[in-house]
Amino acid sequence: MDCVSPILDVATHLWDCSAKSALYICELQENLKSLKSLTEELSNLSKDVMGRVEREEEQQSRRTHDVDGWLRPVQVMETEVEEILQNGDQEIQKKCLGTCPKNCWLSYKLGKIVTKMINAVTELKGKGHFDVVAERLPSAPVDDRPMGKTVGLDLMFEKVQRWLKDEQTKSKAVLTTRFEQVCNEMEVHKRIRVECLTPDEAFSLFRNKVGENVLNSHPDIKRLAKIVVEECKGLPLALIIIGRSMASRKTPREWEQAMQVLKSYPAKFSGDVLKGRCKMHDVICDMALWLSCDYGEKKHKSFVLEHVKLIEAYETMKWKEAQWISLWHSNINEELLVSSCFRNLKTLILRNSDMKSFPIGFFQFMPVIKEFGYLNLAFTSTKRVPIELRNLIKLRCLILDNMFSMILYIGRDIKEYEEGHVQLSTEKQGFSQGDISNSNFHNLVYVRVEGCRFLDLTWLIYALSLERMLVVRSKEMEEIIGGGECGESEIEQQNLYIFLRLVALWLFKFPNLRSIYRWALPFPSLTKIIVSGCPKLRKLPLNSSSATNTLEIIQGNSRWWEGLEWENDNLKHTFTRYFLCKD
């Protein structure tokens, strides 16, 4: 009897292991569905967090390390899950009689991985709820430095200041120029020649912008830094811009690459480090508003408010004569927008507000609704744009960036746009399209669509004046112009007029895109086609008559170009001369 108990324990453990292994195989299909669902929830949560981060970073904040440390694993997790789901689908399809796996060991191994991944995704999802996603950046430290010695302009500024205070001269103008001839033409009375910095002064300024820790991070960097300073020719602005851009580069290889770019393409180097956004000085802003208000004579012509928690009713009373209203990071009661009759409004910016829905009837009571030309609802929580948009025949610009819950309806009543500019991005629901066969987009010139799922762009066949089209990031989109809501017959009727004025076409990150348009088009105005991340796009709508006198560049990677299908070798040879490889 003493030996029976250990045998029973071993048998029990073996049975438990066998049962657990069998569950990995039997529940594989169900677990794959659960993993897919959990990953989609994680992806949506990641987009929400990223949206909050971007809004905070626009306000000079920096994302916290916790948030950054969470977002990066999410991206890795999504890639791994996508690969696992593909392998899982293949394994399910290989089952004998739809039930038994052909290879039990592979099914067991995959089932075990799926179970672990479900736990990992669940854990990562649970960590994605943040009260704070970003922190305010500290003010830049102030260095006590001998500015006179570094820049050498103190005495010159003192002379300028004395001239400005001279009471005998009632008006003065100060100008800067690189050419002495300009001084002659302007008949200036006093000239101050600003010399370039000496080598020592130039290196001192550059070292201040780069930082001692970077210069001392490797023995070769200080030597390379002196070469970079020589290339700047003592120009303070060049030293400052390039110094700031090099502050994050701590390897000799990065410095050598930057030095090559600086020698070959100095303008490109400075352009690459410029920020996508710029700030306007308060004085310049006030002057611009003063000019827009007819030199201050019509004070209520323009209104600009920023970071106002709640706009009161009495403030909106001044807006009745306004032509331009800009409310950034400011909240306003929706009823106030309707009750305030904007007689002359032409531009409305409601960016980064918490407005849940655009007021019904806002445009309905505007006497000059036909003059309204610019609407910006970016980064708002609005779910639907007003249906009265169909009456805005002079709408030039409609910006709907990062409206994660928005549904845009394009119906038969959309009217003619004048110099249209439409920008749509990251909408969860994409388009809800009605009957657009009678719509009129004849004056639409620019369209940008980003991150819209299940989007049908066939309505672009009616945009006869379209000049630039930028379409970015859609996993589901397989064709730009297809049958869609327009119908095959209407597309055939419009065939001769599609993209007649299109100058530039950009297509980025379409893993499943197979077709731009099924037939070749003349493209009489086309100058460039830029394609990136479209591995399944095997054919361009080009033939020997396409863009014969206008085409300048077709850009993409070499693998994509070599995989393109052509009607014949002569056609491929014709367009190869325009190809620019961008690997």
In a domain? residue 471: yes
* Domain of residue 15, residue span: 4-136
Same domain, yes or no: 360 and 497? yes
C-alpha 343/C-alpha 574 separation (Å) is 57
Residues 132, 158, single domain; the answer is no
At 143, is the pLDDT very low, low, confident or very high (cuts 50, 70, 90)? very low
- 179 and 85 in a common domain: no
Both 54 and 119 in one domain: the answer is yes
Lookup result for tokens 């190809």: 579
Q: Evaluate if residue 417 carries a pLDDT over 50.
A: no
531 has a pLDDT exceeding 90: yes
Q: How confident is the model at residue 149 (pLDDT cuts 50, 70, 90)?
A: very low
Write phi, then psi, for 582 (nearest 5 degrees). Answer: -130, 70
Comparing 521 with 336, the larger pLDDT belongs to 521
| Counted domains in the chain | 3
Of the residues 241, 272, 303, the one at which a domain ends: 272
pLDDT tens-digit map of 37-54: 888 888 888 888 888 888
User: Are residues 311 and 245 part of one domain?
Assistant: no
**Whether the predicted pLDDT of 435 surpasses 60:** no
pLDDT for the residue 385: 67
Whether residues 286 and 413 fall in one domain: yes
pLDDT at residue number 171 = 66
Q: Given 517, 545, 575, which residue is the final one in a domain?
A: 517
Residues 38 and 68 placed together within one structural domain of the fold? yes
Tokens of 477: 């989109």
In a domain, 220, yes or no: yes
Same domain membership, residue 391 and residue 293:
yes
Identify which of 103-107, 200-204, 307-311, 489-493 has the greatest average pLDDT.
200-204
Would 193 be classed as within a structural domain?
yes
Query: For residue 73, is it within any domain?
Result: yes
- How does the average pLDDT of the chain come out, rounded? 74
Last residue of a domain, one of 474, 502, 517: 517
pLDDT at 486: 47
Residue 561 lies in a domain: no
pLDDT at 411: 40
Count CB atoms within 10 A of the CB of residue 205: 21
CATH number for 508:
3.80.10
Q: Quick one: 333 and 453 in the same domain?
A: yes
For 90-122, the DSSP string reads HHHHT-BTTTB-S-HHHHHHHHHHHHHHHHHHH
Most confident of 78-87, 423-432, 492-501: 78-87
Long-range contacts at 403-407 (CB < 8 A, ≥ 24 apart):
403/377, 403/378, 403/379, 403/427, 404/47, 404/48, 404/51, 404/428, 405/381, 405/429, 406/382, 407/383, 407/431, 407/432
Residue 420 has pLDDT above 50, yes or no: no
Q: Give the mean pLDDT of 374-396.
A: 73
Question: Is the residue at 168 inside a domain?
Answer: yes
544 belongs to a structural domain? no
Name the more confident of 131 and 25: 131
Rounded Cα distance, 377 and 352, in Å: 8
Chain length of the chain:
583
- The pLDDT tens digits for 61-100 are 778 888 888 888 888 888 888 888 877 777 776 665 455 6
pLDDT at res. 560: 92
Kindly give the pairing relationship between strand 61-63 and strand 553-556.
Answer: unpaired
Residues 26 and 99 in one domain: yes
Please give the average per-residue pLDDT across 347-355, as a whole number. 82
On whether residue 491 sits in a domain, the answer given is: yes
Interatomic CA distance for residues 358 and 435, integer angstroms: 23
* CB 222 within 8 Å of CB 255: no
Q: ∠75-511-470 over CA atoms, to 5°? A: 100
Question: Are residue 361 and residue 477 in the same domain, yes or no?
Answer: yes
pLDDT at 564: 92
**Other CB atoms within 10 A of residue 143 CB:** 7
Residue range 268-296: mean pLDDT, rounded: 71
Q: In this predicted model, what pLDDT tens digit does every residue of 438-453 receive, in sequence order?
A: 445 666 777 877 766 5
Indicate if 481 and 435 belong to the same structural domain: yes
